[in-house]
């Protein structure tokens, strides 16, 4: 009992007690995303798809011939992981790689007819999950939520820019000192 009273009198402990993880935006976003993702992942197993593969197909169905780097940005999948996934999906004839017209070294990824047909079968399920997730939420609030999520994503992206610039500067510095 004495220890507990002492801890509450310590401002650092009081501050940490006041921090309610369950009320923070990152916690709430993660929790909702994990729940939707886990449930949807179970559903799409019947199509022999996992969630990252679905994101790849969904982006490719909406966007023609992005580079691997552009696809990584759009799907939030790390480049080396994405490359492996695309190779697997290419073997299954869901996507195809081809040289990009813009740069001889760059590869463009294209959805195949089989991939597009699969997207057509999964879209109704994806739409159902969105309807369930947003049940009882006013359409104006849904629109606002989506705008705010885009803004939050962009705001957090600004944090990565200085980090990337520092990493580039460090790389240049290391190369010039070698």
In order, the DSSP letters of 12-54 are HHHHHHH--GGGSHHHHHHHHHHHHHHHHHHHHGGGT--HHHH
**With contact defined as beta carbons under 8 Å apart, do 95 and 111 qualify?**
yes
Are 44 and 50 within 8 A, CB to CB?
yes
> What's residue 1's pLDDT?
43
CATH 1.10.260.40 holds for 24-135? no
Q: Give the Cα separation of 44 and 106 in Å (integer).
A: 31
Length of the chain: 178
Q: Residues 154-178: pLDDT tens digits?
A: 999 888 776 666 655 555 554 455 5
Residue boundaries of the structural domains of the chain: 24-135, 137-178
* Interval 54-104: pLDDT, tens: 999 999 999 989 999 999 999 999 999 999 999 999 999 999 998 877 667
Q: Is the pTM of this model over 0.85?
A: no
Burial of residue 6 (CB within 10 Å: 0-12, 13-18, 19+) is exposed
CA-based R_g, the chain, Å: 22
> Measured on CA atoms in the order 62, 29, 137, 50, is the torsion positive or negative?
positive
């Amino acid at each position: 009992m004495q220890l507990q009273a002492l801890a509450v009198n310590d401002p650092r402990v009081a501050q940490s007690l006041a921090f309610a993880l369950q009320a923070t935006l990152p916690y709430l976003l993660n929790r909702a995303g994990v729940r939707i993702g886990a449930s949807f992942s179970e559903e799409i197993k019947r199509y022999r798809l996992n969630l990252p593969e679905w994101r790849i197909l969904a982006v490719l169905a909406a966007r023609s011939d992005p580079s691997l780097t552009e696809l990584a940005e759009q799907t939030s999948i790390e480049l080396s992981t994405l490359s492996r996934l695309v190779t697997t999906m290419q073997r299954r004839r869901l996507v195809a790689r081809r040289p990009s017209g813009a740069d001889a070294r760059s590869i463009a990824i294209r959805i195949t007819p089989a991939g597009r047909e699969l997207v057509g079968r999964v879209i109704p399920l994806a739409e159902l999950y969105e309807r369930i997730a947003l049940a009882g939420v006013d359409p104006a609030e849904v629109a606002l939520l989506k705008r705010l999520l885009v803004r939050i994503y962009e705001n957090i992206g600004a944090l990565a820019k200085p980090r990337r610039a520092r990493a580039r500067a460090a790389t240049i510095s290391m190369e010039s000192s070698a």
